[in-house]
Structure 1
Amino acid sequence: MNAEMLDALGGIATGSGASAAGGRGAFTSGQPAAFAAQAPQRQLDLVFILDCTGSMGSYIASATKNIELICENIVHSGSLPNADCLRIGLIAYRDYPPQDSSYITKSFPFTSSVPTMKEQLKSLYASGGGDGPEGVTAGIKAAMELDWRPEASKMCVLIADAPCHGIGEYGDGFPQGGPDGEDPLLLARQMAAAGIPLFVVACEPALSGYQFGLDWFRALTVITSAVLVPLTTATLLSHVIVGSALEHLEMERLIHEVGQAVAERIHAGLQTVDDVAKELHERLLLRGEETKQLKFESIHRDTDETRHNVDTFVNAPDLQSAKPLLRKVRGSRFTDKYLASRYNSSFMRGPSSDILYPTLPPRPGTMGALSGSRGAPGSPPRKIISEFKPFVGGAGMSVADAPMGLGGGGGAGEDQNAAKEEVKEEQDEVDRLAQSVELRFAGISLEQAKRITIASAWRTAAPRA
């Protein structure tokens, strides 16, 4: 590590007896407002941006059923002083007319009242949607217009199974983007500058049916220093929300501590983001920094085309500039392991409860360890967090093993609903076993260091013209 970087990151102490406040370059009262605004009393403003079109019923139900546990665990496990330090806002969106004539967005203000949140969620139901793409951009815009507390940590969780208009999807009713004229890439950069990361829950397999939707959502998380988590079942939604919030509070702590030193290196143009992130990562590991980390096995293939598309969206000045440069991904977007897990399941059923695929015995050494795997051979031991109720279980139990309740959509006729719920529960069980989601304590990751670096740079950057 070069001496200049050590000096610039002098506020990051190393060794058990070092103090982060005493090193060269440590933060003082003269640091910029972007980092000084965080109050000693920890607070979090969390907004759900929820697609409420026809296919999202199970996710709405899951959020409604588990909202009390979500809030309780964020407060206690995130070390917030009291319940009032957590406020939750809600944005529901569908689509622009004439694709959908019900509403474009519904905004519910921030509240710390769990009963109020529950009633707000219960008022929502999945319906409509028109063409494939939805009014995601309008939902993001509405979230930014809420009454955020300047001193609080901030985050949005966007739950969706379809992209915005204007990225080149087949049959898009608004191929040039939404009629409101808002550009989602510009909105994402405004969020980044305001310190609002946009976490995305990608509802699969629907989202990967679009050509570029997954890449576009992933680009939004890169710009705003967040994470995209793919889910094939609403059963794990609560775990992802709580885990993302707790990890985000850890990132905010470190941004508040080291952000100014990191940002100065970026804005001086002396090193790239990747170089600064690598050296920051090394420095934090030297002092033994451990963080809460939401860990999941991706079900998506990493290809040259996907990387190209994400980079294109991230670097393009606007959506229309990015669109002609995008590349189609050949073949399935899912990994062979994920496809095999679905193929081998005896629960794989369609809407009429007919078996779609025959049950085949797993090949030796492949599918037998899916549900019980806790890491690759030779990987370092990790501490599984089980300190809060939805995640509590026996030793070694992962988040995916913990009971949280299944979400379900509405409909007419109790018998018909019961039959649909039975099929949905079977499908959720298949998808739960096919995915692995855990919250762990571990040494800070390089990916987290990069998120800290990008977030710090955005919060101190001059506004774009």
Structure 2
Amino acid sequence: MPGNPNVPSNNQPVNVDVVFVHDATGSQQPYIDDARQFVNNRIRDIQDQAIMKGGDARYRVIAFRDHREQGDLWTVHDSNPFTKDSGVLRRQLDALVASGGGDGPEAQLDALDAALRSSWRRDAKRIVILITDSPPHGIGERGDVVPASHPGALTPDSIRQSYKTTKTLLTVVGCNPTICQYERAVGWYTIFAKETKGKYISLHRPAGGSAVTDRALVGSVLHAVDSQRIADRWEDWIMDQSHRGHDAIVRDLHSKLAAEGEECHEVDCTEHGGHDVKYARGPISRARVDNIVGSTLRYQEATQSSELADIIFG
């Protein structure tokens, strides 16, 4: 449909910046070891399989434990730069050693906030992959006490708002069975990820070892690249159509993308015959379009709310 003003250009290079935010508390060593193997085996696959239209990807690692009140010597390790070199990324992961952690909830909010302050390229899609088996402080888990050293302004609501207003996609890889022992963690992460066009992925390493982790991480990045690429391309159109309502926008956008033959990567977590994670590329689903439209409209609302607060409170 060349020349049609209702169909935005589909030929721009797609550059991607990915931050792996890794839990480095005591229970996470098997997942850290898997992540090292992932870098060795699959980073090249992402560049080959992702729809980047000539663009490229950079990566960095942020690690977190808990606050000093829980006995940890550090809370967030945030000195690693972005790199396109898998060898450099491997060395960033090699430096991680799982230890400490104190009580159940950890310093995820601090690490997610650090990720937002990364040296993002101006034209890059922003993607954060959180790998953890526990909730953050402050979401209401039974017995949780927010440490005194935790920044008062950094709350579960504020970090979610920041991810929406900066168009940073969050995908959460939740490590089973530990994360399911908490009452609120999975639900909170699932909603947070969906608000940003991301996904909650359930990972049960003992059932499949490093191969399952490989598929979870590769699928996470490919899913995120596709979501950001399509959302950025159609964002202005979706906002212009916002007066028509969510369902009408989803119907028309899905029709346009299907007519183009748009394809996306999806990630599937199964429990049948043992836990597994798989990803595959196929025609864009209505559910994916629904998520993209909803997240784009929430970004518009969040931005308007932020602008209004700046006017009122200076």
Question: Which bin holds the TM-score, normalised by the shorter protein?
Answer: 0.7 to 0.9
Equivalent residue in structure 2 for 1:443, among 280, 283, 293: 283
Q: Which has the larger radius of gyration?
A: 1
Equivalent residue in structure 1 for 2:15, among 43, 55, 64: 43
Alignment partner, residue 312 of structure 2:
none
- 1:247, 1:291 within 8 Å by CA — same for their partners in 2? yes
- The 1:116/1:200 distance shift into structure 2, 3 A limit, reads same
Query: How far did 1:454 drift?
Result: 2.8
Give the residue type in structure 2 aligned to 1:22. G
Query: How far did 1:176 drift?
Result: 9.2
- The 1:79/1:27 distance shift into structure 2, 3 A limit, reads closer
- 1:131, 1:173 within 8 Å by CA — same for their partners in 2? no
- Which protein has the bigger helix share? 2
Identity among equivalent pairs (%): 26
Compute the RMSD of aligned alpha carbons: 2.5
How far apart, in 2, do the equivalents of 1:167 and 1:42 lie?
A: 35
Query: How far did 1:274 drift?
Result: 4.3
- 1:166, 1:175 within 8 Å by CA — same for their partners in 2? no
* Unpaired segments ≥5 residues, structure 1: 1-18, 29-37, 298-337, 339-369, 372-433
- Which protein has the bigger strand share? 2
Aligned counterparts, 1:122-201, within 5 A: 122-174=94-146, 178-201=150-173
Q: Map Cα deviations across residues 145-194 of structure 1 (whole Å, 9 max, x no partner).
A: 11001101221100011101112222213189944530132222222222
Alignment partner, residue 238 of structure 2:
262
How far apart, in 2, do the equivalents of 1:194 and 1:39 lie?
A: 23
Q: Map Cα deviations across residues 396-417 of structure 1 (whole Å, 9 max, x no partner).
A: xxxxxxxxxxxxxxxxxxxxxx
- 1:168, 1:175 within 8 Å by CA — same for their partners in 2? no
- 1:259, 1:452 within 8 Å by CA — same for their partners in 2? no
Does residue 61 of structure 1 match 2:61? no
Give the number of the structure with larger relative contact order, counting CA–CA contacts within 8 Å between residues 6 or more apart.
1
How far apart, in 2, do the equivalents of 1:48 and 1:39 lie?
A: 28
Give the residue type in structure 2 aligned to 1:447. A
Alignment partner, residue 329 of structure 1:
none
Does residue 89 of structure 1 match 2:70? no
Give the residue type in structure 1 aligned to 2:39. I
Equivalent residue in structure 1 for 2:90, among 96, 118, 139: 118
Does residue 215 of structure 1 match 2:191? no
How far apart, in 1, do the equivalents of 2:297 and 2:154 lie?
A: 24
Give the residue type in structure 1 aligned to 2:74. Y
Q: Map Cα deviations across residues 1-20 of structure 1 (whole Å, 9 max, x no partner).
A: xxxxxxxxxxxxxxxxxx1x
How far apart, in 1, do the equivalents of 2:87 and 2:61 lie?
A: 14
How far apart, in 2, do the equivalents of 1:179 and 1:449 lie?
A: 36
Query: How far did 1:202 drift?
Result: 0.6
- 1:185, 1:220 within 8 Å by CA — same for their partners in 2? no
Does residue 295 of structure 1 match 2:268? yes
Query: How far did 1:246 drift?
Result: 1.7
Alignment partner, residue 462 of structure 1:
304
Query: How far did 1:39 drift?
Result: 9.1
Does residue 104 of structure 1 match 2:72? no
Alignment partner, residue 250 of structure 2:
277
User: Number of residue pairs matched?
Assistant: 300
How far apart, in 2, do the equivalents of 1:208 and 1:110 lie?
A: 32
